[in-house]
Amino acid sequence: MKESWRWYGALDQIKLTEIAQSGASGIVTALHEIPYGEVWPRETIAARRRQVEEAGFQWVVVESLPIHEDIKRGEGDLEPLFEAYRQSMRNLAAEGINIICYNFMPLLDWTRTDLATPTKEGGSCLRFDAPRMAAFELHMLGRADAAQDYPDAVCEEAEIWYKQSTEADREALLESIMAGLPGAYDRYSVDSLRDALQRYKDIDRAVLRANYKRFLEEVVPTAEELGMRLCVHPDDPPRDILGLPRIVSSAEDIQWVLDALPSPANGLTLCAGSLGAGPENDVPAIAARFAPHIHFAHLRNVQHDPDGSGSFEEAAHLEGRTDMVSLIDTLMTEEKRRKAEGRADSNIAFRPDHGHELVSDSDRGTHPGYPLFGRMRGLAELRGVIAALQWQDRQS
């Protein structure tokens, strides 16, 4: 398992010299400053690569090479956008970067309603609170249909919250929901989000799947020629949100993606936390089923509220509902299988995904979910599991 760490480049408060102290050797980064749909110039990629390498790391994965919303909506002349994506891939491959993580979530990326929920140990974590999300949809956006997407008890709680909320509470909720958009990406206001949603009104699951298939057909053959691996990141949370369909949420969805265009270049980012946020998803079982297609892993854990509302929060890496030891064991078994095949890429890159804010993390103003100490704790725990499994392996 290749230990890596997500770094946002110039937008990140955390320095590479600090990351070096975590012991990770791989960096996961992206050119967040380039607007969606534009080509990533080779020189800019090369400069970032040099910066990473001069600090003693290897740039192991691009996260993300984002997909323009027009492609997701299937709108307009898409050929220039597909060509820009292919050209960015060529430029990345020319610089020796071969793994590309991306997602196909309409409009929003990962979505939470609270960015600093206190944990029992005194740190804080990210939380998705179903009543707050319902309050946002029903009462702030005015999306009446949202009532069908939440249990009645959640809608009732949403109304109570909304009635008691202050302007500042509502602002904070909007800000939290927008926090998942990466890098310097423009956040939506309630009004602009309403407009953006309007443009998706005719896009249901079948249309989104068709648009996704077209994207795969346009880019996967080039990725294959270049020896690259594309790996889709699952939806987070894995459910429809804001009335937008989400199509990478379950084992069945993943199977659909892989079948849409079977190729070594069409694979999966195994995000344990995103998948684990779906109560019906058994993450170790999903990892075992799709192991040969996993090109990158995000390791973290979540815990659902026991009330069946769909609310969850981010647990410490070895706590929460997913048996992390079993999951890592599956990934390491897959690595052995690849090694036996003589593959040069048998080592699967993973990163401690998200982390609690611990100690002085909250003073740093880092990207939500990406604090220094919280992730160091996560990485240290995961490293311990890996070392123990390696020991066990040597005994057998």
User: Residue from 26, 131, 182, 243 that binds ligand DNO (CB under 6 A)?
Assistant: 182
In sequence order, the β-bridge partners of residue 330 are none
In sequence order, the β-bridge partners of residue 283 are none
Q: Which of 370, 335, 340 is nearest to 356 (CA)?
A: 370
- Which residue type is seen at 371? P
Does the annotation count 304 as an active-site position? no
d(CA 91, CA 76): 25
d(CA 24, CA 164): 45
Q: Which of 68, 317, 354, 356 is catalytic?
A: 354
Using CB under 6 A, which of the segments 75-83, 100-108, 171-179, 260-268 binds ligand DNO?
100-108
Shortest Å distance, C-beta 274 to ligand DNO: 7
User: Residue from 5, 8, 59, 110 that binds ligand DNO (CB under 6 A)?
Assistant: 110
Does the annotation count 367 as an active-site position? no
Q: How far apart are the first and last CA of the chain?
A: 19
Can you read off the two tokens belonging to residue 115? 């960015």
Query: E strands within 212-366?
Result: 229-233, 266-271, 294-299, 301-304, 312-315, 349-352
* DSSP element (H, E) containing 58: strand 58-63
Angle, CA 340 vertex, CA 339 and CA 342 arms, to 5°: 65
| Contact map string, positions 330 to 369, toward ligand DNO, x by CB under 6 A | -----------------------xx--------------x
User: Residue from 4, 22, 29, 64 that binds ligand DNO (CB under 6 A)?
Assistant: 64
Q: Which of 129, 236, 353, 361 is catalytic?
A: 353
Does the annotation count 233 as an active-site position? yes
Residue 102 interacting with ligand DNO (CB under 6 A): yes
Can you read off the two tokens belonging to residue 124? 């804080």
User: Residue from 3, 12, 63, 334 that binds ligand DNO (CB under 6 A)?
Assistant: 63
Shortest Å distance, C-beta 329 to ligand DNO: 22
Q: Which residues are catalytic?
A: 233, 271, 298, 353-354, 370
Residues in contact with ligand DNO by CB under 6 A are 63-64, 101-103, 109-110, 180, 182, 233, 271, 298, 353-354, 369
